[in-house]
Amino acid sequence: MNSPWKLVWITGGGSGIGLAVAQQLVALGAQVVISGRHESTLIESCTQVNRQNLPGSLHPLVCDVTSLESVQVAWQRLMLDYAVPDLVLLNAGNHQPVSVDGFSPEPFKQLMAVNYFGVVNCLSVLLPDLLSRQRGQVGVVASVAGYSGLPTAAAYGGSKAAVINTCEALYPELKAQGIQLSLINPGFVKTPLTDKNRFTMPFLIEADQAAAAIIQGLQRKRFEIAFPRTFVMLLKFLRLLPYSLYFRLTRKLLP
Ligand SMILES: NC(=O)c1ccc[n+]([C@@H]2O[C@H](COP(=O)([O-])OP(=O)(O)OC[C@H]3O[C@@H](n4cnc5c(N)ncnc54)[C@H](OP(=O)(O)O)[C@@H]3O)[C@@H](O)[C@H]2O)c1
């Protein structure tokens, strides 16, 4: 199979899910540009992938998605050095558990800044160019944690729920203007982000499996790309329950 996309931009592409998607697309012959805040991480990832002599190539581009100015500079660099990407994967994100003990706005502000406003900043910068061409594909990585409120995920889940709602709202208008938007909701994936978790993660999958599911879903132009299937079904069922039953189940997740 050849890559359906010639040029791809992935935010948060220096590690985890973003890097796994980048690597698989490079293996299919794509030119992929990965972004993150740390240039050394990006360069190291590019060196590792490019030394495999795959048909495509990987390139670093520093960008902090929480800063609109940083996203504007990165997009201009992308235009100057490459072109308008056929696919953009807005994947940069972070996680921080919260509890009612020591409750503070800080983790909420931090996670909204990267997980939600990171997506909004990028969309605000790239949409004018995509809309003027009346084509393009954008994948946005949210999480199954955004489906409904789960213990310790008040800040993370809230930021991802906002991403899900915004994508649902934007999809029809973008579709009408020739832009394909996809919402990606992974369950637990083994990455540096989840390596910090000290609990057993149900239905945990490898980053390579997540990347394959994302690429397949994007290729099929699905709106929602959610995996692994059984975990997604369970969580979608959970949100249909009356709260009395819902809380009886979710309180078992308390640490
Ligand atoms: N792993 C899971 O189980 C799971 C499940 C559901 C959803 N997700 C979502 O999947 C996405 C990727 O996560 P991952 O698990 O692959 O974690 P990861 O390996 O930690 O990757 C996250 C990437 O985002 C980048 N990043 C963080 N803050 C950024 C910022 N302000 N600007 C630009 N880049 C930034 C990081 O690079 P720098 O630190 O160098 O900036 C890092 O490369 C996230 O949106 C996450 O919420 C993950």
The residue whose C-alpha atom lies closest to atom 39 belonging to ligand 1 is: 37
Model pLDDT, residue 246: 97
Residues of the chain falling short of pLDDT 70: none
Tell me whether residue 1 is in a domain. no
Model pLDDT, residue 255: 83
Model pLDDT, residue 1: 76
How far is CA 67 from its chain centroid?
17
Per-residue pLDDT reduced to its tens digit, 207-230: 999 999 999 999 999 999 999 999
- ∠ CA 231-253-111, nearest 5°, is 80
Q: Which domain holds residue 215?
A: 7-253
| Number of domains comprising the chain | 1
d(CA 157, CA 197): 15
Tell me whether residue 2 is in a domain. no
Tell me whether residue 105 is in a domain. yes
Model pLDDT, residue 9: 98
| H/E stretch holding 7 | strand 7-11
Tell me whether residue 67 is in a domain. yes
Atom of ligand 1 nearest to the CA of 113: 31
Supply the CATH number for residue 61's domain. Answer: 3.40.50.720
Residue 38, ligand 1, Cβ within 6 A: yes
Tell me whether residue 142 is in a domain. yes
Question: Is the whole-model pTM more than 0.95?
Answer: yes
pLDDT above 70 covers a percentage of the chain that reads: 100
Per-residue pLDDT reduced to its tens digit, 33-50: 999 999 999 999 999 999
Residue 20, ligand 1, Cβ within 6 A: no
- Percent helix / strand / coil, the chain, rounded to 5: 50, 15, 35
